[in-house]
Amino acid sequence: MGKGRKHWLLIADDEEAFSEVAARLIGTIISRHPHCVLALPTGRTPMGMYDHLVAMYRRGSLDFSGVRVFNLDEFYGIPRRHASSYATYLRQRFLTRVNVRGENVHLLSAQTKDPVGECRRHEERIRDAGGIDVAVVGIGHNGHLAFNEPGSRFDSRTRPVQLSPECASQVGWNQPGTPCNALTMGIGTIIDSRQVVLMASGARKAEIVARALSGEVTAAVPASVLQRHPHLTVILDQAAARLIKGL
């Protein structure tokens, strides 16, 4: 982890506690900054966090009416209501269960005929919102950050990408062997956020978490760039933290 920077490492006992810690952190940020701009992840990792945030909203302890939301990435060409669509995921698991206002939600369109323009507009909307306050991100088994696969430039911006066969085979919406395209915030876009929260849980993530956090900063492990971020909070469970040196 970087020196001279605001870096925190929170390690929860298990996956349930991990989701709760993440939700409490995001909840605290929203309570202190009701108009904050969030970049939000999808995938398995944050599911429990969203459930806890919804529960906090239902208890009346959290108000999302001023919060602005951007998504990190989306498959390109996926049918709009497909279960693997990240927009569908975010709407069903989170956005429609809390009082985020529709006009404050900015999701990359999987169906656009102009993917390059769609990515440019995502960047413009982020700029118009005053930049991202907090980017909440996961990490892929190959170290990818959003859909920035190994080899992605650290100064990359939101753009169309083609996913590696390894990554494409995990996502399960296209036929095996066919190209899998996506739109993703760039590493540069994520790194420009004022704060980054990295979440990872489970033993299967232990090796890549250790490489990303205590290995060389290299484009071969895109998430390793987070070591250079001035304000990073890493939330892990014990299983995912197990191989980090010096713990």
- Compute CA distances 59 → 21, 52, 56, 67, 213, whole Å: 17, 10, 5, 18, 36
User: Which of 71, 74, 122, 144 is an active site residue?
Assistant: 144
Shortest distance, CB of residue 45 to ligand PGA, whole angstroms?
3
The length of the chain in residues reads 247
Cβ-based neighbours of 60, under 8 Å, separated by 6 or more: none
Task: Give the residue closest to ligand PGA by C-beta.
Answer: 43
Q: Beta-carbon neighbour count of residue 107 at 10 Å?
A: 18
Q: Which is nearer to ligand PGA, 104 or 183 (CB)?
A: 183
User: Which of 123, 142, 174, 207 is an active site residue?
Assistant: 142
User: Which of 52, 71, 73, 192 is an active site residue?
Assistant: 73
Residue 31 region by backbone torsions, left for phi larger than 0, else alpha for psi between -120 and 50, else beta: alpha
Q: Which is nearer to ligand PGA, 104 or 208 (CB)?
A: 208
Shortest distance, CB of residue 3 to ligand PGA, whole angstroms?
26
Shortest distance, CB of residue 111 to ligand PGA, whole angstroms?
22
* Alpha-carbon gap, residue 98 to 140, rounded angstroms: 27
Q: Which is nearer to ligand PGA, 104 or 137 (CB)?
A: 137
134, 115, 117, 103: CA torsion to nearest 10? -50
- The verdict on whether 155 is a catalytic residue reads no
Shortest distance, CB of residue 241 to ligand PGA, whole angstroms?
15
- The verdict on whether 142 is a catalytic residue reads yes
Q: Which is nearer to ligand PGA, 95 or 168 (CB)?
A: 168
Residues 70/126, Cβ–Cβ less than 8 Å: yes
Interface residue list for ligand PGA (CB under 6 A): 43-45, 138-140
Catalytic residues: 73, 142, 144, 149
